[in-house]
Amino acid sequence: MNFVLLILIALNLPLGEKILMNVYFGPIKAGILKLEVTPKIVEVEGKDCYHVKVILKTTGAFSYFFKVHDEINSYIDTSRFYTIKYTKKLLEGNFKFSSSMTYSPDDSLARYPDTTIKTPPFHDPLSLIYIARSSIGKDTSRFIYHVDKITTTALIIPAGYETIKGRKAEKFVIRFEKGGLFKNGGDFNLWVVKDSAFHEPLKVHSRLKFGSITAFLKKYTPGLYSSKP
C-alpha cells in the first residue's frame, strides 16, 4: 500500500456546522448521532482551537434494551490542526468510561489526570473525520494518532465511490491501528458527498461494544468558514 505520512496540515472548519444522523442497529432505528463544530473559536493552552463535538445516543425502546450515551469533545489547533484537548465520556450498557487529556505543544507532553506522556503532535478520531472529508480524490495517508494514553498511527484509505440516496459519495476507511472512536475500536467507515462544497457525510459505519452501527444523514446545517487558514 502506498501512503504519505502527514503530521501537521492546514484545514479550515465551518464554524456552526451541524450534522444529525439516524442510527440503526441492523434494520432497527436505534438512536441519533450528532456531530458539530461549535460556532466560536476557543482558546485552549494558549492556542486558538476549533471545538468539535460528537454525541451518540440510543432513543426510544432501544434504550431499554441497551442504553448508549457517548460524548466526545476535541479541541483542534486552528493553524496546524493538531489536537490540544480531548475528552470523552462513554456509556454503553454496563460499560462506563471517561477520559480527559490536554496537550502542550511547547514541551510535547500529553497530560492526563494521573500521568504525563511524551508524544509528538498528533490527531484524534474526530479530527481525522474532518481530514477524511477534505480528502476527496486523494491517496491513502497515514497520520500520527493519540488517544487513551496510546500514540500510534491511523490510515485514511479511499475505498471507491457509491451512490447513496441518489448522491455520489466517496467512501473512506479510517483505520486505527489501536483504539478507535467508540468502545472496541475498529475501522470507522465514512461516505462523503463528492460534489459539494462542504463534503457532508451521507453515511457512517462503526463498531461498538455490543456490535456495530450504521447511520444515515437526516439533517445537515452548513457552517461558516472563519478567516483562519
- Domain assignment present for 229: no
- Domain assignment present for 142: yes
- Domain assignment present for 119: yes
pLDDT in tens, 38-61: 999 999 999 999 999 999 999 988
| pLDDT over 80 (residue 75) | yes
- Domain assignment present for 228: no
Q: Give the Cα separation of 44 and 104 in Å (integer).
A: 10
- Domain assignment present for 118: yes
List the domain range (segments joined by +) for residue 169. 4-223
What domain count does the chain have? 1
pLDDT in tens, 139-148: 888 888 898 8
Where residue 189 sits, what CATH number does that domain have? 2.50.20
- pLDDT bin (cut points 50, 70, 90) of residue 117 is very high
- Domain assignment present for 33: yes
- Of the two residues 18 and 211, the one the predictor is more confident about is 18
pLDDT confidence of residue 137? 78
- Domain assignment present for 59: yes
- pLDDT bin (cut points 50, 70, 90) of residue 64 is confident
Q: Give the Cα separation of 95 and 26 in Å (integer).
A: 21
Q: Give the Cα separation of 161 and 172 in Å (integer).
A: 9
